[in-house]
């Protein structure tokens, strides 16, 4: 971590005034997205479970890309022929505002499970995006009135905020691990290796086995033993502490659900599937090897 990142993290971590904003907002989002006929499909969409990939990073490209075009068009406005770009810049600002709302919804869904410094960092990221979107809203209104000079200034200020907020978004993803596959860097099991005695994997029970340094979840369903990764891809909890309903295991931490037969994520907030293992029984031992190819 660079010196700048350390100072930034410590500065944001010290902002206790963010907690009265974060706590009720998290309760609200969690309430809307709680498992049920409305919350479950909405969460699956916003977290990207239905895509097999987080939705938020894809949606952020819309406002950032649109506002980047508007920034360049505004910069060319004073040049010969530059004014011909004004309609495109106005459209880009409006498209960016629309994209910002979708990005905010998916971002809130991802952020609603965070704690501590990560939660405060997420609130800061969100508040900056709200400020930038408000500036762009004012810029759009002025453009529609033909007041382009002031509109350009508001948009330039908004763009600066967006760039810094995007940096914080990178911190959330790549430093704090929000929205990444928490099982991605676990080693593979190249050859069939003993995991547990067959008798220790009864029907309908979850069992954790450690093969080398690889945590594996084993269970027997309809007489067949299956193996998937034990590390929840959402935030790294152990699935073996969860519950099993037929062929679906529910994570004990945030209630993501995975199908034990193939590792597919069937309910968010997890968007990535679990790694899958080939399983056989030999000499009274359950043996496993990696079936999912590494990245």
Q: What is the Cα Rg of the chain in Å?
A: 24
Give the three-state DSSP class for 256: coil
Determine the Cα–Cα distance for residues 114 and 95; give it in Å rounded to an integer.
29
Question: How many Å apart are CA 230 and CA 222, to the nearest integer?
Answer: 20
How do residues 82-130 score in pLDDT, each as one tens digit?
788 999 999 999 999 999 999 999 999 999 999 888 999 999 999 999 9
Of the CA atoms within 13 Å of residue 156, those in its CB half-sphere come to 10
Q: What is the pLDDT of residues 120-159, one digit of tens each?
A: 999 999 999 999 999 999 999 999 999 999 999 999 999 9
The CA-based dihedral angle spanning residues 209, 215, 217, 223, taken in that order and rounded to the nearest 10 degrees: -50
Q: Is the pTM of this model over 0.75?
A: yes
Q: What CA–CA distance (Å, rounded) separates 12 from 17? A: 10
Residue 6 has pLDDT above 80, yes or no: no
Query: What's the pLDDT score for residue 2?
Result: 67
Is residue 121 within 8 Å of 176, Cβ to Cβ? yes
| Residue 78 in tokens | 């004073």
pLDDT digits (tens, 9 = 90+) for 40-71: 999 999 999 988 889 999 999 999 999 999 99
């Amino acid at each position: 971590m660079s010196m700048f990142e350390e100072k930034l993290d410590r500065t944001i971590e010290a902002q206790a005034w963010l907690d009265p904003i974060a706590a009720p907002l998290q309760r609200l989002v969690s309430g809307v997205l709680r498992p049920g006929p409305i919350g479950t499909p909405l969460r699956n969409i916003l977290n990207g479970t239905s895509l097999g990939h987080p939705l938020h990073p894809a949606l952020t490209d819309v406002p950032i890309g649109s506002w980047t075009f508007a920034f360049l068009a505004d910069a060319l406005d004073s040049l010969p022929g530059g004014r011909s770009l004004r309609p495109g810049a106005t459209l880009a600002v409006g498209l960016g505002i629309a994209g910002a709302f979708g990005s905010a919804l998916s971002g809130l869904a991802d952020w609603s499970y965070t704690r501590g410094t990560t939660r405060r960092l997420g609130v800061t990221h969100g508040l900056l995006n709200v400020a930038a979107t408000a500036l762009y809203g004012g810029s759009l209104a002025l453009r529609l009135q033909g007041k382009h000079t002031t509109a350009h200034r508001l948009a330039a200020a908004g763009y600066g905020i967006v760039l810094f907020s995007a940096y914080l978004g990178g911190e959330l993803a790549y430093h704090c691990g929000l929205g990444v596959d928490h099982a991605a860097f676990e080693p593979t099991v190249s050859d069939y290796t003993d995991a547990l005695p067959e008798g220790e994997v009864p029907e309908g029970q979850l069992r954790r086995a450690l093969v080398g340094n690889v945590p594996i979840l084993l269970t027997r369903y309809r007489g067949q033993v299956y193996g998937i990764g034990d590390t929840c891809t959402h935030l790294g909890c152990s699935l073996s502490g969860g519950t099993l309903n037929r062929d679906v295991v529910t994570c004990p931490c945030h209630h993501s659900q995975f199908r034990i037969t193939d590792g597919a994520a069937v309910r968010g907030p997890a968007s990535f599937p679990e790694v899958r293992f080939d399983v056989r029984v030999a000499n009274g031992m359950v043996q496993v090897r990696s079936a999912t190819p590494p990245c």
